Structure 1
Amino acid sequence: MTLEQPLVESRLDAEAGLAAAVGHLRSLQHPSGYWKGDLVTNVTMDAEDLMLRHFLGIATARTDEETARWIRSQQAEDGSWATFHGGPGDLSTTVEAWVALRMAGDDARAEHLQRAARFVRGAGGVEQARVFTHMWLSLFGLWSWDDCPDLPPEIVFLPSWAPLNIYNWGCWARQTIVPLTIVSALRPVRPADIDTAELRTGARPARSSVTSLAGVFERLDAVLHAYTRRPVRWLREAAMRRATEWILARQEADGGWGGIQPPWVYSLIALHLMGYPLDHPAMRAGIEGLDGFTVHEQTPEGPVRWLEACQSPVWDTGLAVAALLDAGVPGDDPAVLAATDWLLDEQITAGGDWQVRRPDLPGGGWAFEFANDTYPDTDDTAEIVLALRRVRHPDQPRLDAALDRAVAWTTGMQSKDGGWGAFDADNTHTLAEKLPFCDFGAVIDPPSADVTAHVVEMLAAEGRAADEPCGRGVRWLLDGQEADGSWFGRWGANHVYGTGAVVPALVAAGVDPRTAAIRRAVRWLEEHQNADGGWGEDLRSYRDPARVGRGASTPSQTAWALLALLAAGEDSAAVETGVRHLLRTQREDGGWEELLYTGTGFPGDFYISYRLYRIVFPIWALGRYVARERGGGRP
């Protein structure tokens, strides 16, 4: 296809491609009504699952063999393991993979482990690995607990107004920190019959300057270590009991904690150390629940097993419903109604940790996972409201009441600065980021452009664009625009995601597409379109500004850019070539390939491949393009 072809031919092609994609998406719906794509991260999940099973004494030859086979299959030529497909080798990930393979029985003299050891030494050695890695090694006597930051369980007694109280951490960090305080206090060692000497260089990390806050905390850590050796016994025991009660109170129906791997595995370890046997209901449910996060696949080398860090059925289903509706599927289509009923059953009206900051706000949000009632999030909730408000449901009063509760809850979660974070309001205290423990991942949940945009777009669709909360959100977004015209993407890669979310939200809220902010965003997108017509952004853009907006084209990122351009009213070569890129790369079954990761867990540290993104977002974009070409606007 060439750009000179008439638009009507492009529209007809787009209609055919859209129909095929919708058919493919329909085929992926679960009989219960939801959609769920596998969520792929990196082999730290699998290495830590294997190490957990060895620590608890529940490892089997089969789980070791299948996990090790998967880990080996993900190794790069230089001996390393990366945190995302095609990414550079990561020191800590490689250390954990090496240790797990040794525990599974791989010989340290084997060529693949020799290559891994060379990479580790070249990257600074195990001494330079992150704190989480050192803690895992300490569990097996491969690192000293004295060289891990101390996490005193007494912090559970700090009131919510005090610095460094657990509610000043993001919910994912909070749920991880609490069980780790027990582990840190008890310092368990269950020796593994392996040696990590060949991973060491002998070079220790330099300490921060004593005049810096990080340096002060590093030296305070020495005081905490001294206290741990001689704690106030009654206070420490009371703190560990309180931490244990806190953990048990937040165990979800699926046996997990927060629906994510880190707090899940550390909570199991903490409870076990506190005397809970493996057959205790909480332990048994937690271990069995992890099996539900395990993916089994057949490969030419044999069966493999790998662990999802999280599962995203609520998010996937909300996006799928929106995509189908934008593709012109009727609001009372059986697939749409089945998904709606499933989502209505998943709404969370109970309280949660978010009430620490908003104690008088009634519940009404949705979480990301099958079971995470303690932590609904504004992002899921906004997208679900946007989708379900367009559904023609046989019990309309029930649907409307649910959505009204969701809108009220989401609005009430606005932070003081006008933006929205994902799980908490006003979770902006940065002091925790300076702690020696915090060398990996985001630990707080401040407002972000992508989440705020989704909420603003939802409020505008609800007819509340003129209301004060939406207006404050719009101002927050406009103030947060980057100098180059883009917006940062917290939960997706990266500026393409942020810009793809913000432009449609601003236009929906009444910002004229001709304003300077929108024109700058359009110009940025056009300048970053690839020669093949698509868009892509390498995940290394979170650390390397030269990669911002640059990378191989992917279906999901191309769709994000198109959604922004279409919302801005663009009828340009950029739109036409972007649509044609999607059509040209579409598979015969109506789907798309997307090996590169486009989801973000922690910017700069942890990334996600959502396997449903490659289908829902292209449908969304093609649906809006076809509707525009037909002259009808959004379906």
Structure 2
Amino acid sequence: MTPDMITGPAAREAPGGTLPEAAERALRAACDHLVGLRDPGGWWKGELETNVTMDAEDLLLREFLGVRSEQDTAEAARWIRSRQRADGTWANFHGGPGDLSTTIEAYTALRLAGDHPGEAHMRAAAAFARRGGGIEAARVFTRIWLAMFGQWRWDDLPALPAELILLPPWCPLNVYDWACWARQTIVPLTVVASHRPVRALPFDLAELRTGRPSRRGRPGGTLGALDRLLRRYERRPLPGLRRAALRRAVEWIVVRQEADGSWGGIQPPWVYSLIALHLSGYAVDHPVMRRGLRGLDRFTVRDERGRRMEACQSPVWDTALAVTALLDAGLPAGHPAVAEGAAWLLGEEVRGPGDWAVRRPGLRPGGWAFEFDNDGYPDTDDTAEVVLALRRVPLPGARPAVDRAVRWMAGMACRDGGFAAFDADNTRELIRKLPFCDFGAVIDPPTADVTAHVVEALAAEPPADPAVLRRAVAWLLRAQEPDGSWFGRWGANHVYGTGAALPALAAAGVPAGDPAVRRAVAWLERHQNDDGGWGEDMRSYRDPAWIGRGHSTASQTAWALIALLAAGERSTAVEAGVRWLVRAQRPDGTWDEPYHTGTGFPGDFYINYHLYRLVFPITALGRYLRPPGDGAG
């Protein structure tokens, strides 16, 4: 869409008055809805919706541990069936293509629930699986699940020796070379792979096999030779070394269990840790196991559509964004929703050490995590957003917490000046090439969206060393794509990255006329949809043809507007975007958004944050109506 596509009175007017008047009404309705979603404890948490692998693997976990109930199975199966597409497949995101591994796991869960392979929906799923190469072509993690139930040979999986836990942090392939979410998954998986358990299912999955040999996860070259060597070692490990490794791994797992029973507050390490401990002699009634299983209930959503699992929960992130949105909308800092939300955030500060200290041993703790109970893994992204929210709300004790967070955040800068989410300098590319790393991001390098959020926070609350901010801004400018956009690691995708970068550069004092800013503005204007909104499909992570293209969504339209407004734009593109938000708003004040716009692993795992459709439009409308200088920041 070009800037001159909407001109004249139609660009300024909306049904029932001018566009600003319509935007004001939409903003008030949205704020009312957001305030109404607040928990009595002061926090917000929208559902974090992913795909049915969470539900399938939950049933497989319960089957493995012998705790699967008929009610849980029936409710989860109802949800899984409701997500099946007309072609018999399951996708990883709304509107996306069928995914082989997700379909295989969903199919297996439905077999557990009693669905017969001769039923039409099962026949369609099995046919798709065979066309896609069957179990033999599934990702390694899917085949690990199937191996645990005798549906795949452990010998045909990449080697995963428990002795990895014994490697010191300076040694390549040590567990701290993995991103935090990956290391918490790999350590328990090494325990599982060492035990090579097989718990028979009451059925066989022959209808999902093609009989062709599997080549997935079989590297060539040096890594292929290393894998073959480790496979031979796995057949005859050194007994004393293996016992020491398993003992260390189990201790490592137990000490990292969070207060809510989770591991890292995310599903993959949680389920694998429970299985690893169970194989190591922990009965299901052991306190650690009881805490872990009970904690899963907190991540369970039940409604008329069935029972589904959240892969993670985002109360700190959601609450920080909600507080900022309400302040941007013009609510005073003393409003109960704002003040109580900020007070809750203040109480969630992380004051203890975590795995991040392996690379930054002298850095004092501070900052915030993503979840309710994830004290071992604060992250710079959440910390930046909480700092931006708390600095605008006068609370006793907030200033020392903000200062601690700024010091910690600045200390997490990577050598090149950028910022990653959880660790500093977690960039060893060798990890990516290992044969069992065929799904999901496994390292945590600096990214444009995280660096931008940190820049925005440090520009508002300058660090003791000004060079940290200067180097981060320089990193961000270097990271701009040739087309003028920025890549989005944790949100979809270039719209998200650009939506983070432009406000950060503005906060850091980069003028609106800077060539980098003008290129970004031009990119956003070129990628505006004809309806006035913005959208970007998750396929853009793998197919460049989708970059900046997709159905208009409330969250992505808001990101684009926030970026354009930060760049000083009051253009017809901005007015068209605001008009889209006004027109698309539901009568209850929120927006429909079935599309996934959050990212777990680029190219592999996606998230629909149910609060994104509300908090970001509020911020966009608030900043449109109340530009900086009128109380918005």
TM-score of the superposed pair, with normalisation by structure 2: 0.97
| TM-aligned CA distance change 1:521 to 1:279, over 3 Å | same
After superposition, where does 1:168-179 map in structure 2 within 5 Å?
168-179=177-188
Which residue in the other structure is 2:298 paired with? 292
| TM-aligned CA distance change 1:453 to 1:401, over 3 Å | same
Work out the CA distance in 1 between the residues paired with 2:403 and 2:315: 22
Which residue in the other structure is 1:122 paired with? 131
Q: Is contact 2:284–2:290 with CA below 8 Å preserved after alignment?
A: yes
| TM-aligned CA distance change 1:215 to 1:290, over 3 Å | farther
**Over aligned residues, Cα RMSD in angstroms?**
1.5
How much has 1:205 moved relative to structure 2?
4.0
How much has 1:204 moved relative to structure 2?
2.6
**Given the alignment, which residue of 9, 34, 50 partners 2:18?**
9
Which residue in the other structure is 1:623 paired with? 622
Per-residue Cα deviation, 1:86-127 (whole angstroms, up to 9, x for no partner): 110000000001111111111111111100000001111110
- Following TM superposition, the consecutive aligned residue runs of length 4 or more in structure 1 with deviations greater than 6 angstroms are none
After superposition, where does 1:173-572 map in structure 2 within 5 Å?
173-206=182-215, 215-299=221-305, 304-393=306-395, 395=396, 398-463=397-462, 467-572=466-571
**Given the alignment, which residue of 146, 158, 179 partners 1:149?**
158
After superposing the two structures, state which structure 1 stretch, 18-27 or 2-11, moved more.
2-11
Work out the CA distance in 1 between the residues paired with 2:8 and 2:119: 54
How much has 1:225 moved relative to structure 2?
1.8
How much has 1:215 moved relative to structure 2?
3.6
Q: Letter of the aligned partner of 2:568 in structure 1? A: G
The SS at the match of 2:241 is helix
**Structure 1: gaps (5+ residues):** none
Work out the CA distance in 1 between the residues paired with 2:510 and 2:603: 32
Work out the CA distance in 2 between the residues paired with 1:67 and 1:208: 30
The SS at the match of 1:227 is helix
How much has 1:199 moved relative to structure 2?
0.9
Work out the CA distance in 1 between the residues paired with 2:358 and 2:36: 42
Q: Is contact 2:328–2:622 with CA below 8 Å preserved after alignment?
A: yes
Q: Letter of the aligned partner of 1:282 in structure 2? A: V
How much has 1:463 moved relative to structure 2?
4.2
Work out the CA distance in 2 between the residues paired with 1:36 and 1:278: 30
The SS at the match of 1:20 is helix
Work out the CA distance in 1 between the residues paired with 2:217 and 2:201: 33
The SS at the match of 1:591 is coil
How much has 1:207 moved relative to structure 2?
7.3
Alignment of 1:95 with 2:104, yes or no, is: yes
The SS at the match of 2:509 is coil
Q: Letter of the aligned partner of 1:15 in structure 2? A: E
Q: Letter of the aligned partner of 1:89 in structure 2? A: G
Q: Is contact 2:328–2:631 with CA below 8 Å preserved after alignment?
A: no
How much has 1:392 moved relative to structure 2?
2.3
**Structure 2: gaps (5+ residues):** 1-5
Q: Is contact 2:532–2:576 with CA below 8 Å preserved after alignment?
A: yes
How much has 1:202 moved relative to structure 2?
2.0
Work out the CA distance in 2 between the residues paired with 1:499 and 1:189: 48
Work out the CA distance in 1 between the residues paired with 2:317 and 2:142: 30
Q: Is contact 1:208–1:218 with CA below 8 Å preserved after alignment?
A: no
Q: Letter of the aligned partner of 1:83 in structure 2? A: N
How many residues are aligned here?
A: 624
| TM-aligned CA distance change 1:160 to 1:463, over 3 Å | closer
Question: Sequence identity of aligned pairs in percent?
Answer: 64
Q: Is contact 1:3–1:577 with CA below 8 Å preserved after alignment?
A: no
| TM-aligned CA distance change 1:68 to 1:85, over 3 Å | same
Q: Letter of the aligned partner of 1:174 in structure 2? A: R
Alignment of 1:49 with 2:54, yes or no, is: no
| TM-aligned CA distance change 1:51 to 1:206, over 3 Å | closer
Q: Letter of the aligned partner of 1:420 in structure 2? A: F
Q: Is contact 2:217–2:435 with CA below 8 Å preserved after alignment?
A: no
The SS at the match of 1:421 is coil
Q: Is contact 1:95–1:120 with CA below 8 Å preserved after alignment?
A: yes
TM-score of the superposed pair, with normalisation by structure 1: 0.96
The SS at the match of 1:195 is coil
After superposition, where does 1:50-65 map in structure 2 within 5 Å?
50-65=59-74
| TM-aligned CA distance change 1:552 to 1:158, over 3 Å | same
